[in-house]
Amino acid sequence: MPSGKVKKFVGFLIAAGFIGLSALSNLSFAFQVARDPYLACIFGAFGIVATFTNAYIPLRILDAYDAGRKSVIVIGTLLFIVSVTVSLVYALGFASTFRDNGAADQAALSANLKTTEDQLRDALKAPRPNAKLVNEYREQIKKYRTVGALKSDDAQATTLEALGIPNARYWVRLLFAIFVELGSALMLFIAFADTTKRTIPRSRA
């Protein structure tokens, strides 16, 4: 089995990954919703601070628990709940915007394919079909199909809904946001918490 130091180092790397991804997603969401770069930086800064706060507070709560400081535990827990909620809203906004943009692009691609197919049918029905125009339409259709115009707008959500999960697109977004934010909030705590067996009861003095 890996030593305790190796386990903590691996946990730290995982936590750093979660924290970095959470901060980047919060900053990205800020630039997606704010038209002005200056306001986006301010809005994004709140999201980044929330991410680091989420990672820091559980460690202080652990210290407060060891020291028997109930007031710190209560205040820290309240701030942690608010901070996680804020960060979760950022992450959910990022996931929603990202997936909506992808679905919109796919829908537009599929619509272009259908329009071109209709144009090809009309061109073939002409009394004297324009061979050059017909070939252009066929080449366009081939390109659209090559880049995935026949795919679903959201294949992941479609598959989950086929398995009986309603509103799968929204559940996927929520799951992504919860995973990122809980990982960034609790991974450092998990990595550095003392999990050794105690032979002497914890003092509450």
Write out the chain in H/E/C secondary structure: CCCHHHHHHHHHHHHHHHHHHHHHHHHHHHHHHCCCHHHHHHHHHHHHHHHHHHHHHHHHHHHHHHHCCHHHHHHHHHHHHHHHHHHHHHHHHHHHHHHHHHHHHHHHHHHHHHHHHHHHHHHHHCCCCCHHHHHHHHHHHHHHHHCCCCCCCCHHHHHHHHCCCCCHHHHHHHHHHHHHHHHHHHHHHHHHCCCCCCCCCCCCC
Report how far residue 40's alpha carbon sits from residue 29's, in angstroms, rounded to the nearest whole number. Answer: 9
Nearest one of 42, 46, 40, 47 to 25, comparing CA atoms:
47
Which pLDDT does position 203 carry in this prediction?
47
Question: Chunked in runs of 10, what are the mean pLDDT values of the chain (205 residues)?
Answer: 72 86 85 81 87 88 85 89 87 77 70 82 81 83 75 64 72 82 84 64 47
Q: Where are the domains of the chain?
A: 4-192
Cβ distance 27 to 154 under 8 Å? no
Q: Is the pTM of this model over 0.75?
A: no
